[in-house]
Structure formats: C-alpha cells, structure tokens
C-alpha cells in the first residue's frame, strides 16, 4: 500500500495551486493532501519573521492523514521554501526564530519516510531568509536523518543573465547562491537546490512555480521522474 503523501506549498503560495499535482499523485495510488494554506497565512512570516505558523499547519495536516489512513509514516513533498521548512519540521532542536519568545519543536523525522524537495533554495544570501536557513543548515546539514530518504529536485530551464527575459532569474540566483550567471528553474539555481547525501536530480525544461507558463515540477513528465522515489 503506498504511503499517504503531504504537499507543503511554496512561499506565499496557496493550496489551490497544487490541486492538479495532488490529483496526479492520487491517480498514481498515493492518498494525498495539501496543507490547507491560503496566501494570507504567510503574512505573519514576512520580513524574515518565524515560519512557525506554517509548521503548525503542516503538523496538523500530517497528523490528520496519518489517522485517516491508519498509517505510521508519510511521504512529504515540499515545494520551494516548503522544502527547507520541512527540514525544520523533521528536527529535534527547538526552533526559536528572531522575534519569538517560546521555542517550538516537532521531532517529526520518525513519521516521514521520504522528503522530496522541489526547487527548494537550501541556501540563501538574502538577509531576511538567511537566519532561518542558517538555523536549518547548521543543525541539520545535508541529508541529515538516515531514516529519511531525501530527494532534491532542481529544474534547468533558464540561464541567469543581465538581459531581457533572464533578468529576474539572474537576480534571484544571485540572491540565493551569490552567482547570477548560472542555470536554474527561473527562481532557484541548481547550485542551491541540492543537498549533500541526498538523491539529487536535475530535470531539463522545468520552471519553478505551478503558476509558471509551461512545464513545472508537478507537470506530468517531470512527475514521472521524481514520483518513483515515493514509497
């Protein structure tokens, strides 16, 4: 029996954008649910504030599907920022981000069989996100938990350059990994999307967001590449 699967949306994204991906996974036999986020649920996290509200919603969703499916573990799919937020969720170190007084802790790694990160920037030079990402990478470097299968998927569709059509990619790549002239999915450079010790994949022609024109990570062809890692 395939494990139930939870999708955690990317930064400032709502669950609605992942309905087609959710349906595709259900058709493959995976009971799937998306964390029921609305765009306004991200407002408390703006300006580098803690992502704790998102983590609590993720925790409630995971517990819900474990109970509904009478399962011991899930697959967890984190798109974009959802990937590094998921790494906090797995962890055993209290998460006390800037501006918080009370630490939060989830210790969820025993309940996650596979973590698939789609277009996740696992590093950042941007000051608002760097503090939280430093917390993640200092405490849980690479594919940290041996009992969890980490799969990191990068898209290769846009080369960043200071010219029309590539300027957004250039700026985003530079903010993320410090280099604008590199390949990525238009938002996340390949260099930032992989983790040491993980199953690291690069898929040609894939763009970052479910709202991007053309092919993104959840489109039918890319899905075939990474869905085989789900348990």
pLDDT at 98: 62
Q: Is position 177 within any domain?
A: no
Domain that holds residue 102: 5-155+186-228
CATH number at residue 214: 3.40.50.1820
Q: Is position 178 within any domain?
A: no
pTM of structure: 0.96
pLDDT at 131: 83
Indicate if the pLDDT at residue 143 is higher than 90. Answer: yes
Q: Is position 165 within any domain?
A: no
pLDDT at 100: 63
Task: Compute the half-sphere exposure of residue 119: CA atoms within 13 Å on the CB side of its CA.
Answer: 31
Distance of CA 194 to the CA centre of its chain: 11
pLDDT at 99: 61
- Are the C-beta atoms of 191 and 136 separated by less than 8 Å? no
At 65-91, the pLDDT tens digits run 999 999 999 999 999 999 999 999 999
Identify which of 100, 77, 98 has the alpha carbon closest to the alpha carbon of residue 89: 77
- Are the C-beta atoms of 206 and 184 separated by less than 8 Å? no
pLDDT at 89: 98
At 21-65, the pLDDT tens digits run 999 999 999 999 999 999 999 999 998 888 999 999 999 999 999
Q: Is position 117 within any domain?
A: yes
**Using CB atoms within 10 A of its CB, is residue 20 exposed (0-12), middle (13-18) or buried (19+)?**
middle
Portion of the chain with pLDDT greater than 90, in percent: 89
**How many other C-beta atoms are found inside a 10 Å radius of the C-beta of residue 37?**
24
At 199-226, the pLDDT tens digits run 999 999 999 999 999 999 999 999 999 9
- Model confidence at 97, pLDDT cuts 50, 70, 90, reads low
Q: How many domains does the chain have?
A: 1
Beta strands in 96-228 (DSSP E): 112-118, 149-156, 158-159, 183-184, 199-204
pLDDT at 29: 97
What kind and span of H or E run contains 34? strand 32-34
Q: Is position 167 within any domain?
A: no
Distance of CA 114 to the CA centre of its chain: 12
At 168-198, the pLDDT tens digits run 999 999 999 999 999 999 999 999 999 999 9
Q: The tokens 């569709």 sit on which residue?
A: 157
């Amino acid at each position: 029996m395939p494990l139930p699967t939870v999708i955690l949306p990317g930064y400032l994204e709502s669950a609605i954008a992942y309905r087609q991906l959710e349906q595709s996974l259900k058709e493959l036999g995976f009971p799937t649910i998306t964390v029921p986020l609305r765009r306004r649920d991200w407002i408390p996290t703006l300006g580098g504030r803690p992502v704790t509200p998102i983590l609590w919603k993720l925790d409630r969703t995971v517990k819900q599907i474990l109970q509904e499916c009478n399962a011991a573990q899930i697959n967890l799919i984190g798109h974009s920022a959802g990937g590094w937020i998921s790494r906090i969720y797995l962890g055993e170190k209290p998460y006390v981000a800037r501006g918080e007084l009370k630490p939060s802790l989830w210790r969820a790694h025993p309940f996650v069989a596979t973590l698939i990160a789609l277009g996740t920037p696992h590093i950042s030079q941007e000051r608002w996100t760097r503090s939280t990402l430093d917390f993640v990478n200092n405490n849980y470097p690479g594919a940290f938990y041996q009992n969890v299968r980490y799969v990191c998927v990068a898209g290769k569709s846009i080369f960043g350059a200071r010219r029309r059509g590539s300027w957004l990619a250039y700026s985003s790549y530079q903010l993320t990994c410090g280099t604008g002239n590199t390949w990525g999915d238009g938002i996340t450079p390949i260099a930032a999307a992989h983790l040491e010790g993980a199953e690291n994949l690069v898929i040609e022609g894939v763009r970052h967001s479910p709202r991007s024109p053309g092919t993104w990570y959840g489109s039918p062809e890319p899905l075939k590449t990474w869905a085989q890692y789900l348990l």
